Amino acid sequence: MKARCKPYKLAALIIDPGIAMHPAAEHSPLGKSSEYIATYTPSLLFPIPRAAKWAELGLTAQTLPYKGVDFWNCYELSWLLPSGKPVVAIAEFSIPADSPNIIESKSFKLYLNSLNQTAFDGAARVQATLEKDLSAAAGKPVGVRIRNLVEIEEEGVAVLPGVCIDELDITVSSYDQPQPELLRCDDSQVIEEAVHSHLLKSNCPVTSQPDWGSVVVEYRGAALDHASLLAYIVSFRQHSDFHEQCVERIFLDLQRLLKPEKLTVYARYVRRGGLDINPYRSTEVLDVANRRLARQ
């Protein structure tokens, strides 16, 4: 008989739909009617401290068990040249996973829209402006890369590494909150593998709109039962939380179960409002490309 990793009990993790929304989010523009301002207005950015969501997971800024980054992609970036001619581009933003704040997504969109009728000397000036404003909001330096459309077209779409587990037969009966007790592993085997699923879905904690995503898990540790992982991923389906916290919860649940030598959890969410969010959490040094998937 195979040795089995026992499901752990969540002593430290709080999974309560009633506390899913960060208090600061109540004062953000998310879920409210907003005026679209077409001239540069950095004050539109609305930072939300990560600390409260870390606390729900039993973490502080000093005890984060991962390294990581949140990749944001903007597909609707535009500004004016001094001549008045518009420019369009795609922007990539890299926000450190240990930054004090996330940036509320609607405020991010409103801020980016405020560039639409603003004149800049060129892309370098736009990039410098974005770096300054976003770094101030996040509380740590934010990387910005502005790319032209030809470059993106030549790059094409990426495929997640490893085995796709979506065709496995599973029975699911609950979707309201993540269920780490579903996870199983064989601790008589230590393996290194990558698996992925396109069935990740959660809900925005403010608007309840669906957040669709794909997630890849790469690890070296006790052999993870793939069907149990898929059932666990599906259990997020009606859970309300931000993208970043969903990925951090998956990382922590797998880390507690597998006790891996190394672990990476990387999710790529479908865009909403011209932005997509792609949180990456890993025990290893950051080594990942920001490549869009077919649904992005």
> What is the spatial distance between Cα 238 and Cα 204, in angstroms, rounded to a whole number?
10
Rounded to 10 degrees, the C-alpha dihedral 96/101/103/107 comes to -160
* Spatial separation of the C-alpha atoms in residues 19 and 7, rounded to whole Å: 24
Q: Name the band, by pLDDT with cuts 50, 70 and 90, for residue 16.
A: very low
Q: Please tell me whether 105 is known to bind a ligand.
A: yes
22 is in an annotated binding site: no
pLDDT digits (tens, 9 = 90+) for 147-206: 999 999 999 999 999 999 999 999 999 899 999 999 999 999 999 999 999 999 999 998
Let me know whether 206 and 148 are in one domain: no
| 41 and 62 belong to one structural domain | yes
5, 74, 185, 204: the active-site residue: 204
Q: What's residue 29's pLDDT? A: 55
Burial 111-143 (b: 16+ CB within 10 A, else e): bbbbbbeeebeebeebbebbeebbbebbbeebb
Within a domain: 238: yes
Q: What is the pLDDT of residues 218-255, one digit of tens each?
A: 999 999 999 999 999 999 999 999 999 999 999 999 99
- Among candidate residues 211, 225, 241, 253, the one labeled active-site is 211
**Domain limit, last residue, from 109, 134, 154:** 154
Q: Is 151 annotated as a binding-site member? A: no
pLDDT band at 215 (very low <50, low <70, confident <90, very high): very high
> Do 89 and 56 belong together in one domain?
yes
Is 132 labelled a binding residue? Answer: no
Could you list the beta-strand ranges (E) of 133-292: 143-147, 163-164, 185-203, 210-224, 262-269, 275-282
Mean pLDDT, residues 270-280: 96
Residue 283 has pLDDT above 80, yes or no: yes
Burial class (CB in 10 A: 0-12, 13-18, 19+), 283: middle
User: Which domain-ending residue is among 101, 120, 154?
Assistant: 154
Residue 80 is assigned to a structural domain of this protein: yes
9 appears as a binding residue in the annotation: no
User: Is 211 one of the catalytic residues?
Assistant: yes
CA atoms within 13 A on the CB side of 252: 23
**Residue 71 carries which side chain, given as an amino acid letter?**
F
User: Would you place residue 3 in the very low, low, confident or very high pLDDT band (cuts 50, 70, 90)?
Assistant: very low
User: pLDDT tens digits, residue range 85-123?
Assistant: 999 999 999 999 999 999 999 999 999 999 999 999 999
What are residue 193's DSSP bridge partners?
Answer: 219
26 pLDDT more than 80: no
Q: Does 244 show up as a binding residue in the annotation?
A: yes
Q: What is the CATH number of the domain that holds 169?
A: 3.30.1130.10
Total domains, the chain: 2
Q: Is 235 known as a binding-site position? A: no
Q: Has residue 142 been placed in a domain?
A: yes
Mean pLDDT of the chain: 91
**What number is the average pLDDT over the span 7-12?**
37
Query: Cα separation of 62 and 285, whole Å?
Result: 18
The verdict on 61 and 123 lying in the same domain is yes
Neighbouring C-beta atoms of residue 187, cutoff 10 Å:
16
Residue with the bigger pLDDT between 2 and 141: it is 141
Whether the full predicted model's pTM is greater than 0.75, yes or no, is yes
Looking at residue 36, what is its pLDDT?
A: 83
pLDDT digits (tens, 9 = 90+) for 71-85: 999 999 999 999 999
| 32 within domain boundaries | no
User: Is 196 annotated among the ligand-binding residues?
Assistant: no
Residues 109 and 145 in one domain: yes
Kindly indicate the confidence band of residue 20, based on its pLDDT and cuts at 50, 70 and 90.
very low
Instruction: Tell me, yes or no, whether 288 lies in a domain.
Output: no
Boundary-marking domain end, from 126, 154, 182: 154
Does one domain contain both 128 and 179?
no
Cα(137)–Cα(147) distance, integer angstroms: 23
Q: Answer yes or no: is 295 within a domain.
A: no
Q: Is 95 helix (H, G, I), strand (E, B) or coil?
A: strand
Question: Are 73 and 115 in a shared domain?
Answer: yes
Per-residue model confidence (pLDDT) at position 5: 56
123 closest CA partner among 90, 151, 158? 90
Determine the average pLDDT of the residues in 263-269.
99
**In a shared domain, residues 168 and 102:** no
Residue bearing tokens 């679209």? 36
Tokens of residue 36, six digits: 């679209």
Same-domain check for residues 117 and 222: no
Catalytic site includes residue 16: no
Q: Which residues pair with 224 in a beta bridge?
A: 185
pLDDT at 19: 35
Q: Are residues 212 and 127 in the same domain?
A: no
Query: Considering the domain boundaries, does residue 294 fall inside one?
Result: no
Domain that holds residue 56: 37-154
Q: In the prediction, which pLDDT does 286 show?
A: 87
Residue 136 falls inside a structural domain = yes
What's residue 35's pLDDT? 79
pLDDT at 261 over 60: yes
d(CA 103, CA 220): 32
Q: Name which residue leads in pLDDT, 155 or 215.
A: 215
